[in-house]
Amino acid sequence: MKRAVILLAAALAAFPLFAEPAPRVVASTSWTAAFARAAGATDIVTIAPLELKHPPEYELKPSDLQAVNGARFLVHSGYERFAKRLAETAGSAGLVVATVYTDNIPSTFKEEARKLALLFGTTPAYEAWAASFDASTEAMHARVAAAYPDKRVVAHKFLKTYAEWLGFEVVGTFGPGEPSPALLLELAGKKPALVIDNYHNASGASVAAATKAPVVTLINFPGKDGTRSIEEVFAHNERAFLEAARAAAERK
């Protein structure tokens, strides 16, 4: 009997009957939600709809502000059109407000997610995620690098550092906004092997026409083609790179 009591006490210590529920996190966009998910959050409410092409331009509705009810944290990037009002509402409701620097370079993404994990109290979940993320992004890096022996590219300004992480030599940038004729002439003179455009504020079509280089269009925010997590964003972008490389090889 005594042994049974000891075993029951040990079981209760390991698996409490009344475990604290996972904290609810309000995320401004699918991108900040991806940071929160990587940090270990499991109960996430996203404000801007996933189907939007450029979520930061979302116009906040009064009903959206009800999302803060019952939440403990708000994660935003600060540049969303609705960020200030949302942060003010969250702060007055007692939520902890966190701002993340949105960039998909793995080292930066992990550092921002780690900060959230410390805030959420979910560090073990973050560490398990980070190990898996490292393995998948390193494999992606290797496959994309092998597909492009010529590393000279021109890239959308918001994707310059991402292209450099992948090993490309960024010889020129464009966007956001339509490039001027002078910039198109300059970029054509760089003779890039590839044009890297940004789906969320695309402006690379004229660059591709001027440079006669194939164009690959990448995403930052989850949402397009059913993407939800940062891993799915990376997989989507890898497919775009490899498909563009195959198409270019077939044209030769």
Q: Tell me: the pLDDT tens digits for 70-124?
A: 899 999 999 999 999 999 999 899 999 999 999 999 999 999 999 999 999 999 9
Domain boundary among 106, 131, 156: 131
117 plus 167 within the same structural domain: no
pTM of the model: 0.88
Residue 66, judged by CB atoms within 10 A of its CB (0-12, 13-18, 19+), counts as exposed
Peptide bond into 176 cis (omega under 30): yes
Q: What is the pLDDT of residues 123-159, one digit of tens each?
A: 999 999 999 999 999 999 999 999 999 999 999 999 9
User: Total domain count for the chain?
Assistant: 2
Q: Which of 70, 22, 74, 21 is nearest to 46 (CA)?
A: 74
Residue whose entry in the numeric block shows the structure tokens 């409490």: 16
| H or E element in which residue 194 lies | strand 194-198
Among 147, 133, 206, CA closest to 174? 206
Q: Are 115 and 148 members of one domain?
A: no
Q: What does the mean pLDDT of the chain come to?
A: 91
Is the same domain home to 66 and 39? yes
- Of 131, 157, 192, which residue constitutes the final position of a domain? 131
Q: Which domain holds residue 99?
A: 24-131
Collapsing DSSP to helix, strand or coil, 221 comes out as coil
